[in-house]
Amino acid sequence: MNRVLIVAALCAAGGFAARAQSPASSDTLRLERIRASLVGHESDPAETVFKNISLLKGKPASRLPGMMEALTGLIGVECEYCHVRDDFASDDKPAKRTARAHFAMIARLNKDDFSGENKVSCWTCHRGKPKPELTGGGG
């Protein structure tokens, strides 16, 4: 699971931001509200500030907005693709459950196939689109 956090941290750090699309204006406003709510709690563990946190457990809450912003570009979606409006903690949308499973898959691939190096990310397959395209390699 530690590899998941590393991949998430890379996303949050903007490692792929140059390729990412900017989120829609409604998403920008949501992210601004989330950042404003963090004032004074930036270093608190994410799970003490937000509900239903799994990927960023034990990590600073300040990482969450950047990670979510990066993900919108990495897979080319808006917040509501994975999240229920006004209930980000909800797991009702299948896309949120799929995203969590994909983070586990990315971590497993990097650990088992790339000696722990972060060679695989959301961008590897998605390239800014919600549904990954075939990237070749068979044959």
pLDDT of 90 strictly over 90: yes
Structural domain boundaries enclosing 78: 2-126
- What per-residue confidence (pLDDT) applies to 13? 41
- Please check whether residue 136 lies inside any domain of the structure: no
Task: Report residue 123 as tokens.
Answer: 């961008």
- The percent of residues above 90 in pLDDT, for the chain, comes to 59
- The percent of residues above 70 in pLDDT, for the chain, comes to 78
- Please check whether residue 135 lies inside any domain of the structure: no
CATH of the domain at 121: 1.10.468
Secondary structure percentages of the chain, helix, strand, coil, to 5:
50, 5, 45
The count of structural domains within the chain is 1
- Please check whether residue 137 lies inside any domain of the structure: no
